[in-house]
Structure 1
Amino acid sequence: MTPEEQDLVMGLAFVPGVGRTRTLDEVLAHFGESDGGALALRLLRDAVERRDADDVEMALIVHGAADASVEEFMEPLIELFPAEWHREHEDIVSTLGKLRSPKTVPTLVLATHWVPEHLDWDENRALAVKAIWALGAIPVAEAREALEGLRDAENEIIRENAVKQLARRGDL
C-alpha cells in the first residue's frame, strides 16, 4: 500500500474531537471494491504475504470501519497472531473475542502466556486480560479448562482475571 493509500485508510479511524476524515465509500472507490469486508480481507492477505506491519493495521482499520463479518477473518487472524513482525496482537485478540468461537481457544490461550516483544513493557498484561475475557465468553469446556488452568498463574493480574471470568460464567 502506498503512503497515500495508508493516509486514505487512516481517515477511517475515529479521532476524538475530529471524527473520521474519510468515508468507507471513498476508500472502497479508491481500491475499486464495493464490499468493505472483501477489501479488508484482501488487504490483510496482501499484508501478511509481504509481512508489512503497517498494512496489517490498515486492513484492521478497514475491517472495523466496514463493520464486516469477523468469521471470514478468523483463520487469517489465527495464523497471523503469533508472528512477531507486526504490532496488532491486541487488536487480533479483540477481534477473535467477538466471535466466541471454540476455534479461537488455542490462540487465546497462547495470548495469556506469550508476550510479544513490543508489549514487553506492559506490566498490566492487557493482551492476556483481553484474551481471558474472550475465553470467558466462549461457552465450551476447552475455554473453561483454560481459565481453570490460569487460576494458579504466577502473575496476579492473570490469576484475578481468570477467577473473575470463571465466577461470571458460574464455573467457580
Structure 2
Amino acid sequence: MDAAKRQLVWDLARGGVSDDVFIAQFGADPRTTPELVRSELEQSYAERSPDDLRAALLVAFRFGLSRQWAPLLCKLLEEDWHESHEDIAGALQNLRVPSTSDCLYRTALRKHDYLAYNDNEALAVKCIWALHDIGTSEAIEKLQLLSQSDLPVPVRERALKRLSELAAKRPGDEEPAYRRARDKRVRPD
C-alpha cells in the first residue's frame, strides 16, 4: 500500500472522508471486491509492514471481514514484526472459524514485549473470547487447557468463566447482542 492510500485509510478512520469518497479515491469498493483487502493483508505479510497491516485491518473492519481470510489472519497472528495481535484476535472472534482454534490457543500463551505492560493479559483474554465464540469441542478443549495453564490467575479465571457460560448454553438460546453486532462485520461469502 502506498503512502497516499495509507493516508486515505487514516482519514477514513478519523472521519475525515466518507465511505463514498474513500471508495472513489481508493479505486475500488472493498464491499464488492473483498479480494482487494485480502491482497493488502497478503502484501503487508510479504513486506512485513506493520503500517500496511494496520491500514488493511482498518479497511477490513470497516467494510467487512471474510471467513476466507482466516488462514492468512492466523499466519499474521503468529508473527512478531507487528503490534496488531489484539486486532487480529478480534477479527478471528468475529469470524468464528473453527480451524483457528489452534492459532488462538498458541497466541494466548505467547509473550510479546510490546504487551509486557499488562503481562500480555489483554491479548490472552481476546483469544479466550474468540475460542468461546467459536464454541466447538476443539475450542472448548483449548479453553480448558488455558484454564489450567501457567497464565496469570485472572486470565485462567476468564477461561473458566467462558467455559461455564458454554456449559450453561442451551439449544435455541438467542445469540448475545455483542455477537449479533459482530456478525454484521462479516461478509456473507
TM-score range, shorter chain: 0.7 to 0.9
1:99 to 92, 95, 102: 95
SS of the residue aligned with 2:12? Answer: coil
Distance 1:78 1:124, change over 3 A: closer
Question: Residue 43 of structure 2 aligns with which residue?
Answer: 46
Determine the C-alpha separation between the residues in 1 that align with 2:23 and 2:80: 30
Matches within 5 A, 1:58-77: 58-66=55-63, 68-77=64-73
The answer (yes or no) to whether the contact 1:70–1:98 under 8 Å persists in 2 is no
Amino acid corresponding to residue 29 of structure 1 in structure 2: A
Matches within 5 A, 1:3-42: 3-14=3-14, 20-36=15-31, 37-42=34-39
Determine the C-alpha separation between the residues in 1 that align with 2:107 and 2:72: 16
Determine the C-alpha separation between the residues in 2 that align with 1:93 and 1:33: 27
Bigger RCO of structures 1 and 2 (CA < 8 A, at least 6 apart)? 2
Cα drift, residue 69 of structure 1? 3.2
Determine the C-alpha separation between the residues in 2 that align with 1:25 and 1:72: 25
Large movers: runs of 4+ above 4 Å:
none
Question: Residue 81 of structure 2 aligns with which residue?
Answer: 85
The answer to whether 1:126 aligns with 2:153 is no
Determine the C-alpha separation between the residues in 2 that align with 1:133 and 1:76: 20
Overall identity of the aligned pairs, in %? 32
Q: Cα RMSD (Å) of the superposition?
A: 1.7
The answer (yes or no) to whether the contact 2:74–2:103 under 8 Å persists in 1 is yes
**Which shifted more, 137-146 or 51-60?**
137-146
Question: Residue 109 of structure 1 aligns with which residue?
Answer: 105
Matches within 5 A, 1:139-154: 139-154=135-150
Question: Residue 162 of structure 1 aligns with which residue?
Answer: 159
Structure 1: 5+ residue runs without aligned partners? Answer: 15-19
Distance 1:3 1:11, change over 3 A: same
The answer (yes or no) to whether the contact 1:112–1:158 under 8 Å persists in 2 is no
Cα drift, residue 11 of structure 1? 1.6
The answer (yes or no) to whether the contact 2:112–2:120 under 8 Å persists in 1 is no
Instruction: Name the TM-score, length of structure 1 as normaliser.
Output: 0.87
Distance 1:42 1:24, change over 3 A: farther
Q: Determine which structure has the larger helix proportion and give its number.
A: 2
Instruction: Name the TM-score, length of structure 2 as normaliser.
Output: 0.80
Cα drift, residue 124 of structure 1? 6.3
